């Protein structure tokens, strides 16, 4: 198949490099700086003792040139959610109709934007479960190989699953795209904002009584929202989302605390959660508004509340914006847990 890979970060390089190594035509679209490095070095994928490099890649820096390529079967959108609006604007500016776009971004609001901009048949919902680390442009480490989820309701869906399978990537079709994306969002929430705000490991988050309570409340807010939307929590490739859903609904939190602690530690491999990586690198944005913030927004739109997700979003965004010094929370999980839980417990007692 002929693919246009929009973005050469961790996801784009992993997916595009894997497809290229399997003989598919993968053209990359990215900024000049990373494009120059990829042209020179290619994309190296490391998984355990296996190292492979995709070379002689075609890297384009102009959206107009990229979309004018003949016979494109699919574009794969692999940029951060906060870049989606600029991607849409760039595509619109070309005056060209994009091929169907497989959206492999985190969050639940990107595909609706693509459908509104380009038509219902131009977007396919997808999600990446494989844990991927990036050491630099085109230098990729596969931490945990799990596979992909792809919405099964598009004419291109089965061809995509076949193409990924030919590249050694397990891809599973899902009839309910929203359920798939929201189920993945719950896993993205886990020990993400809390670890970043407090500058501690995911294991330390789940070992701390107060932060663990925040995590449980945060995930229960997301599950309550899915219930309100009548969306089931679905099983994702090699990811125990259904088991997590059962535990959060029916078991005492202290019973599954060590299980979640081990699950998150194994699931992410050696890499920090994304918010923690971005904050430590001094980046001006994180995706917290598209994950925790999305839970809060969607809950409020349905007449519900998600105060823990709202609080985590506001605190992390304030740190990133420089409105709050990170040092106020770094290494101080007691402060964060007291701040968030005091108001929640007052509400519980009413």
- Summarised one tens digit per residue, pLDDT across range 314-327 is 999 999 999 999 99
pLDDT above 80 (res 271): no
For residues 331 and 210, state if they share a domain.
Answer: yes
Position 246 scores a pLDDT of: 94
pLDDT digits (tens, 9 = 90+) for 99-157: 999 999 999 999 999 999 999 999 999 999 999 999 999 999 999 999 999 999 999 99
For residues 131 and 230, state if they share a domain.
Answer: no
pLDDT digits (tens, 9 = 90+) for 226-265: 999 999 999 999 998 999 999 999 999 989 888 787 777 6
Position 347 scores a pLDDT of: 73
- Per cent of the chain over pLDDT 90 is 90
Q: Which domain, by its residues, includes 270?
A: 180-349
User: In the chain, how many domains are there?
Assistant: 2
Position 258 scores a pLDDT of: 81
Q: Which residues partner with 6 through β-bridges?
A: 29, 77
Position 340 scores a pLDDT of: 96
Domain boundary among 175, 192, 225: 175
Domain boundary among 175, 203, 223: 175
In CATH, what number is assigned to the domain containing residue 337?
A: 1.10.1040.10
pLDDT digits (tens, 9 = 90+) for 74-102: 999 999 999 999 999 999 999 999 999 99
Domain boundary among 160, 175, 190: 175
For residues 132 and 20, state if they share a domain.
Answer: yes
For residues 296 and 185, state if they share a domain.
Answer: yes
For residues 273 and 342, state if they share a domain.
Answer: yes
- Per cent of the chain over pLDDT 70 is 98
160-164, 266-270, 278-282: segment of lowest average pLDDT = 266-270
């Amino acid at each position: 198949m002929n693919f246009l890979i929009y973005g050469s970060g961790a996801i784009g390089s992993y997916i595009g490099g894997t497809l290229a190594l399997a003989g598919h035509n993968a053209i990359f679209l990215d900024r000049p700086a990373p494009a120059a490095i990829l042209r020179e070095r290619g994309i190296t994928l490391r998984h355990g003792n296996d190292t492979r490099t995709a070379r002689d890649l075609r890297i384009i820096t102009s959206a107009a040139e990229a979309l004018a390529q003949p016979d494109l079967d699919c574009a794969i959108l692999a940029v951060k959610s906060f870049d989606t609006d600029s991607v849409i604007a760039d595509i619109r500016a070309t005056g060209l109709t994009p091929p169907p776009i497989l959206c492999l971004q985190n969050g639940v609001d990107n595909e609706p934007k693509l459908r509104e901009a380009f038509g219902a048949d131009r977007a396919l919902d997808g999600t990446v479960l494989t844990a991927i680390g990036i050491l630099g442009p085109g230098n990729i480490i596969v931490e945990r190989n799990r596979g992909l989820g792809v919405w099964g309701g598009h004419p291109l869906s089965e061809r995509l699953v076949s193409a990924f399978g030919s590249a050694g990537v397990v891809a599973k079709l899902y009839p309910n795209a929203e359920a798939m994306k929201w189920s993945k969002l719950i896993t993205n929430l886990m020990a993400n904002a809390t670890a970043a705000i407090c500058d501690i490991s995911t294991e330390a988050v789940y070992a701390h009584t107060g932060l663990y309570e925040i995590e449980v409340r945060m995930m229960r807010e997301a599950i309550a929202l899915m219930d309100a939307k009548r969306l089931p929590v679905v099983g994702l490739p090699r990811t125990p989302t259904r088991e997590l859903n059962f535990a959060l609904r029916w078991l005492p939190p202290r019973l599954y605390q060590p299980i979640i602690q081990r699950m998150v530690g194994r699931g992410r491999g050696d890499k920090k959660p994304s918010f923690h990586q971005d904050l430590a690198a001094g980046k001006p944005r994180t995706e917290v508004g598209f994950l925790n913030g999305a839970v809060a927004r969607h809950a409020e739109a349905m007449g519900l509340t998600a105060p823990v997700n709202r609080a985590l979003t506001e605190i992390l965004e304030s740190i990133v914006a420089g409105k709050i010094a990170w040092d106020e929370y770094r290494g101080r999980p007691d402060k964060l847990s007291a701040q968030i839980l005091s108001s929640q417990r007052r509400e519980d007692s009413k």
